[in-house]
Structure 1
Amino acid sequence: MPSARFFSSPSFRLSVLPEKLSLGFLWLVLGVSLVTAGCASQAVLDDAVIETQFPLVIELRDALREADSEELELLAPATHERATQAYEEAYRLAQRADDAAQNRARRGLTALSEAREQAAITADIFEDILRTRRRVIAAGAAEHATDNYRDSEAALIALSRMAEEGRVEQAKAGRQELIDLFEALELEALKTDTVARIEAAMAQAERDELEDYAPHTLKRARDEHTLALATLDADRSNKIKAENHAQRAVFHINRATGIKDIIQMFVTSDFSEEDKVLWYQGQLARLIEPMVHAPAFDEPNKVLIGALRTQVEQLVQDRNRLQLQLDEAERRFNDLVLEQQLVLEDVRAETEAERSAEQARAARFAFVQSLFDIDEAEVYRQDNDVLIRAQGFVFSPGDSEIAAVNFPLLNKVIESIRTFKDARIVVSGHTDSSGDDDSNMLLSQSRASKVAAFLSEVGGFESQRFTSVGYGEQRPIASNESSEGRAENRRVEVLIVNQ
């Protein structure tokens, strides 16, 4: 079709049009030109923009990628095809910024979900086929027999389509034929993989004319080759045994090559029979030199070989004994390392436990400290113990009765005690220096006892946890020369003793 440029060029003239062409045709041509020009100028969105504006398209793309490992193309080909086609259409629409891309992608995601459901049904129907197919892949059939393998895959897809279309019985009828086809592929792949090295080595042996130098050794190689093939024909799962035969066949071929090299050396160097024996003894001496410095070549060969074998066996025994000692030393070393690791772990655990315990203690102390205003009490930490110095406790001079004004302060003390489970509580009473010593001692003891009883009863604590003691005026915390100092000295202290 001519381009829009052609229709707008000077060479395009109405005069050159046939007379039968109408004016409507001219408008049609011009319309096509304008549409073509419009399409050419339309912007195409890149993937970054599509990802933002059309998230379902990207979701479908990622889902299809993840589905690659689920073999949906194999087990639900038609439904997977619909999902793939929906993505391609959605992506093209998204490039043109068409809102229909989201709906198309949504249909694709639905189709992909249906494909997964269908694949599960197909996998159940073709369980025996898929099991054989996995063995085929493990044997390397895809690499060694690509044409036949592709044909088998196509046959499996065809059966899957039948199952997908509801023709389940017809699909089941084709199972055995496909299993036979896959098993033949497996055998072919196993033979190719196991025997290929033998056949390549045999071909090289023929080119090197080894038959002329080592016919008996080559016969052994051929026998092993035959046994490898027979093993796979009898039981294709016995790949290890077939591989052993293959390795022995290659060994005999390589040995035949070495025999040829030695024979050719003898011929080239014009060795006499005596030279051959001396060469053999020289090779033997060179071999055992690290173990035996002076082989007894003056002894018959049978005696010599027997003596050397005895010495080698002794060396092997010594080596085995040393290996056992080394293994034992290594075991002990590993035990020591493990023991050290356990000790370090215990230390780390103990350190971590102590750190956690310290953090918990610090948190409890900070909580208790936060309960009291500065004019109510001062809270001190003494290692694991907590001292609450309640200088805000109000006692009338010479009196030990607990006034109601002290209840808020005592409630805070009770809350503090609850923070430390199973702690012992020592309540101590203190007076100022007014009055005589004996009276002050009795008064402080009375005050401590009544506070301890109050805390136990109101707080619901066991009385055995509480001890009370009076110190009178023996432990002042301020000067008794002023009324303010004497007020501070008339106090109660609560010591929370943690185990």
Structure 2
Amino acid sequence: MPVSARFGACPRACRRIVPVLLAWLALTGQGVAAEPPQNLRATLFGAADQALAAANGQRASLLAPDSYASGAEAYRRAEEILADGGGIEAIQRNLARARDDFTEAAADAEIAGARFSAALDARADADSAEADRYAPELWRDAEETLTEAASRLARGRDKSADDRADAARGQYREAELAAIKANYLNETRSLLETADDLRARRYAPISFERASALLAEAEQALNADRYDTDRPRNLAQLAEHNAHHAIYVARLQRQIYDDDTTLEEVLLDWEGALSALADELDVPVYFDDGHEAAVKRMSEAIATLKADITFLEQAVADRDAQIASLELEVGDQSQSLARVNEALARRERQRERFERVEALFEPEQAIVLRQADGVILRLIGLNFASGSARLTDAHDAILGRVQAALAEFPEANLVIEGHTDSFGSDASNLELSQARADAVLQYLLANSPRSPADVRALGYGESQPVANNETPEGRRRNRRIDIVIYPRW
């Protein structure tokens, strides 16, 4: 596409180039073979094209709109004269004007770019958020304000130009936020509109209001920090689920009212789904008084299966570790039976010590895990207040049991690890996890004879989750203190 296409010129040179070429040859005194038609335009427009490229490189159409527009108009006129077979002097005169205007525009744009850096940074952020797609009117308003600021700067109205640039910066920030909200929240808003059309406010008021409240909370979170999108995204997803549920309930209610189905048929359908799940668990369930008893029985069965799995996994890990250790030890044919017996006895002492530590804690307080070179106390019951690293009297019970557990390993080195969920920035989560680990370290040093040289605290922030951060239970499990014990077996 020729450069002139940027200015909307109509390429008619193919019809009228011969008269202009003959005039050019007459002026230069050259024959037709000396300069073919395709070189004529390059010869005439070369300097103006270079000036145009330099102006575009400085974003002059945005930052020096007046001189850029003047140059563009002169450039168009030159192309029109060329296309119409006009005189060479008129073409050269307009191209000289275009070159000068583009050169001036490039210089003015460079100055404006430095002076309006804050507005341009805001524009870049809005562009990254696709504000031209998600908030087109706000984007256009900001663009117009910035070009107005550039025009005033070129006319020497510095104070007025700065005021307009500051206004443009605010408009770009507004467009950026609107685009981020649209990107994360528009789908939920659309679902709520569908639910409203189905009269979900009447037929499914709880789900509808819950979805509306979650949407409002997500928007408030974006207003507070538009760049921390983990929590707003999670809230928006929850709002979508509730909106879908409101739509489902509203449609079901209308089917009942229209006699397309009955309440009994709906209940039997749901009970059938629960019965199928209960069959997989090999648990008989009945719905004499509703679903509560059936759900309770299935939950108990699932809890039992999970406990069995955990026990078996630990047993397999223990056996594998024992086998691996014994294989290494018997690899040396010269070792004596006494050494093998001692190794087995040592493993038995380790197992007994591990079981004593495990027995100290209730399931909701801690999980005791064995690894190849040590033991992990995963303190799932040691919960801090939101954003806090302060230990209170409420923590004494579990920390007392921790001290009893550590007394089983008086010679061990300890690493106290702090972990958080994914909500909040990486930096703040890292700082908070370190502060919590430090608080536990100071408590243990103050209440036990252990040497500070044997204990250290590390904060890992959100980098080592043990559960899904997309669910409340998963986030609760990820907000934890792990005490890693490295015994000198």
TM-score, with structure 2 as normaliser: 0.47
Q: Larger C-alpha radius of gyration, 1 or 2?
A: 1
